[in-house]
Amino acid sequence: IFWPAMLEATDHAEPRAVMASGFVTLGGKGFSTSRDRAVWADEYLDEGFHPDPLRYYLATNGGFQQDVDFSWEKFAERVNTELVGTVGNFLYRSLLFAHRNYEGGPDADAPSDDVAARIDEAVEEFAAAVDDYSVRALGDAVTDLARYGNEYIQRNEPGKLVDEEP
């Protein structure tokens, strides 16, 4: 009651949607600083980790109003599999190929109708996830497109095609 009244009194628009997340648990139990059951941000950063992988894991590990159970093992597996193994690998392969063969940027046209259709599908999935406020689905859309790109590169070996063409 107070927040909408404050917004109204200051001529601010009320939000169209309020997103709320569930609790973050550690090993199925609630966080407790007195019991040292927490993920300490300063210790995480002191270990040399960038904050973005942790943000990614927490944002995509559950939906709104769902609890997220944090574990270092799941965190490492998710980051190594999705961010490094799939998305990072696709970006590295694509950008290196473009740099070596097209002075940093090939034509913007998709190489085939199948690829164009898959990109359009990913854009639709991404837009639907934004409309649904589903960060997990956003992550899935990006990861799925990167997985498709990795499979495309593996299957078609574009580096060999460039070497063969005059």
Q: Where are the alpha helices (DSSP H) in the chain?
A: 2-9, 41-46, 51-60, 72-78, 89-102, 113-131, 135-156, 158-164
pLDDT digits (tens, 9 = 90+) for 135-145: 889 999 999 99
Identify the helix (H) or strand (E) that includes residue 25. strand 24-26
Nearest to 67 by CA among 41, 28, 18, 35: 28
Q: Give the model's confidence band at 165: pLDDT under 50 very low, under 70 low, under 90 confident, else very high.
A: low
The residue-averaged pLDDT of 16-36 equals: 82
Task: Please determine, for residue 128, whether its predicted confidence score (pLDDT) is greater than 50.
Answer: yes
Contact by Cβ (8 Å): 64, 121 = no
Say what the pTM is.
0.78
Give the total number of structural domains in the chain.
1
Range of 35's domain?
2-164
Q: Is 158 or 12 the better-scoring residue by pLDDT?
A: 12
- Per the rule left: phi > 0, alpha: psi between -120 and 50, beta: everything else, 164 is alpha
* % of the chain surpassing 90 pLDDT: 44
Q: How far is CA 20 from CA 11, 59, 64, 140, in A?
A: 24, 12, 6, 20
The residue-averaged pLDDT of 88-102 equals: 89
Q: What is the CATH number of the domain that holds 109?
A: 1.10.730
Residue 83: Cβ-neighbour burial (10 angstroms; 0-12, 13-18, 19+): buried
Both tokens of 132, joined, read 């649904």
pLDDT digits (tens, 9 = 90+) for 107-120: 677 678 898 899 99
pLDDT of residue 110: 64
Mean residue pLDDT of the chain comes to: 87
